[in-house]
Structure 1
């Protein structure tokens, strides 16, 4: 019985798939999980899996719109401050006697407004998103302290706080994992299977060319910043209920973890490339590493160092690899053309 050979096209496609950044991230995630399961006590338990999901929930939720923003060549560094301001407003409104059924939608509307401020400054005023969101990062965090000060509001009803960390059935998996999966699928469909997603890549590669092709660049970017603000506010509501504490300093520094996860997942900081599957892998990889180090009693300062290193590596390594590929293309002879020796070049036999 003869075995039919694998088609060269299939082999080439498989090699290309394995060489993608997404495959590298998922491979690194698998290695990290296996290593941590063997060497870190308690890592592979179902209880710890639930804690890991809760720990990365806010990062995963905010990373979804952040992926779309970075693909367009922009960035939003105010997401953690929007989360903190939302938490402070939520606590203050609760102290004032409003029910949570009213507070939660008001907080999401607040996120829409804060995201719209970022978007209008970038699209209408024409300011760079890096400068704008660094400024609003400080502004929104300062407003959070104005609203709540150094106080902590922690008397939320258990029906809400317990529900935020509730598990699915008899498992140890929190229900928020199901929501993250649904949101990831929705964002993935928008990015990879709709004209909106193609427009985002076009804007990231060349926004002028995208504008001439009929894409509303300003409206698209404004919509992304509004979405980012709304999602960050929703994450702020979940964060407050998860930890049963509304504070102005909630999630301080979380924006670095979000950006690190997105870039680690293969999204180019310059825009125009990346896939949502890689971002999901980047979130899981970052969360797994941090969780394993926490179980190993590593200090929070070291965790910050690890996050910073991953952020630097996720930016430096792709650029170095791209430069090496470019250099290889420029030095290699054209395909099908033999390299003829120079008339002045003598072979080894001639020398002998």
Structure 2
């Protein structure tokens, strides 16, 4: 019972509740339904990127190109709309583009054996550059009014945005796959030891390729939401969101080395970060300070599990006591003599 109470996910959820209670009681306007809707919408794309990253990080890999994939897909949406393509045709083309970009990451990492960190840092810049090639420095606006409410409005009679419903659906699917299917168990096994997973018959390469393609698809979905929500397609859309998404995943208790983490932990971290960001926004805290806080959360998210692991190992394996004093004239033990005097443990017993 004690372990469940003090689990990291429980602590995060409690902190999120504290932030929301503090905001409701100490920040004017925080508890208004319109503000709660804005708070949830503000983290829609970050939540989708975090859900894309979660299974990848569970395997011990990383994808730092998620926000650049979003930016490219947004730029592609604008370019196609400018060319007179119908929005109904744009949606599948953008989803296909996201899957292709994800498969490029997968090919470089899995087929060529390159480090995921190096590859996705490279594609982070590559995809962002391609976004500028596709659309240039300008912005495209005037997207169909029939679709914009899906990214901006709330479900009738509630404060819950349609976009948040989409996030909840994706989150439930990811949770079911990660925690209740053989594929999910394979993700943890790969993160704990890739070679062991291979010897156990897990198709590691196929799973990793699938994860990066799904990540590209989710980034494309996030790009459509982002573009419709702001009614603007730009090459620099979502610039820098990858760091916030990574911070949310790691703060949620997912190990950067793989093999540990839960969807509920990431969801709790997202709620905590969204509430904290909104409280700071309503109190006129500058973006620079908010970025500092996001950076601190990222450091804490990596540092806390390491410190907790060290403390846990010390409790399980306490350091042997060392004799406090030794007489000045007492000779030191002779390890050579001791070795010569005693044979193997079996001989000593005889």
TM-score by length of structure 2 reads 0.90
Tell me if the contact between 1:78 and 1:137 (Cα under 8 Å) persists in the aligned partners.
yes
In structure 1, the residue matched to 2:231 is 244
Q: Secondary structure at the match of 1:218?
A: helix
- Which of 144, 147, 160 is equivalent to 1:160? 147
For the residues of structure 2 that align with 1:300 and 1:143, how far apart are their CA atoms? 28
For the residues of structure 1 that align with 2:147 and 2:138, how far apart are their CA atoms? 20
- Which of 288, 303, 310 is equivalent to 2:297? 310
For the residues of structure 2 that align with 1:82 and 1:34, how far apart are their CA atoms? 36
In structure 1, the residue matched to 2:8 is 21
Tell me if the contact between 1:161 and 1:243 (Cα under 8 Å) persists in the aligned partners.
no
For the residues of structure 1 that align with 2:228 and 2:165, how far apart are their CA atoms? 17
Matched, 1:214 2:201: yes
For the residues of structure 1 that align with 2:54 and 2:325, how far apart are their CA atoms? 55
In structure 2, the residue matched to 1:124 is 111
In structure 1, the residue matched to 2:31 is 44
In structure 2, the residue matched to 1:350 is none
Which stretch of structure 1 is more off in the superposition, 140-149 or 174-183? 174-183
1:164 positional shift: 1.9
1:274 positional shift: 0.5
Matched, 1:60 2:54: no
Total equivalences in the alignment: 327
Question: Which ranges in structure 1 are unaligned for 5 or more consecutive residues?
Answer: 1-13, 334-338, 346-352
For the residues of structure 2 that align with 1:344 and 1:332, how far apart are their CA atoms? 20
Q: Secondary structure at the match of 2:43?
A: helix
What CA deviation, in whole Å up to 9, does each residue of 1:288-341 have, x standing for no partner?
1111111111111111111111001100111111112212222168xxxxx9x9
Alignment CA distance shift 1:343-1:79 (3 Å): closer
Matched, 1:282 2:273: no
Task: Supply the RMSD in Å over aligned alpha carbons.
Answer: 1.7
- Which of 64, 69, 82 is equivalent to 1:77? 64
Tell me if the contact between 1:86 and 1:236 (Cα under 8 Å) persists in the aligned partners.
yes
For the residues of structure 2 that align with 1:180 and 1:252, how far apart are their CA atoms? 20
In structure 2, the residue matched to 1:8 is none
Tell me if the contact between 1:83 and 1:233 (Cα under 8 Å) persists in the aligned partners.
yes
1:344 positional shift: 8.3
Tell me if the contact between 2:87 and 2:144 (Cα under 8 Å) persists in the aligned partners.
no
1:138-149 residue pairs with structure 2 within 5 A? 138-149=125-136
In structure 2, the residue matched to 1:102 is 89
Tell me if the contact between 2:163 and 2:225 (Cα under 8 Å) persists in the aligned partners.
no
Which stretch of structure 1 is more off in the superposition, 180-189 or 265-274? 180-189
In structure 2, the residue matched to 1:331 is 318
In structure 1, the residue matched to 2:342 is none
What CA deviation, in whole Å up to 9, does each residue of 1:107-156 have, x standing for no partner?
00000000000011110000110000000000000111111111000111
In structure 1, the residue matched to 2:101 is 114
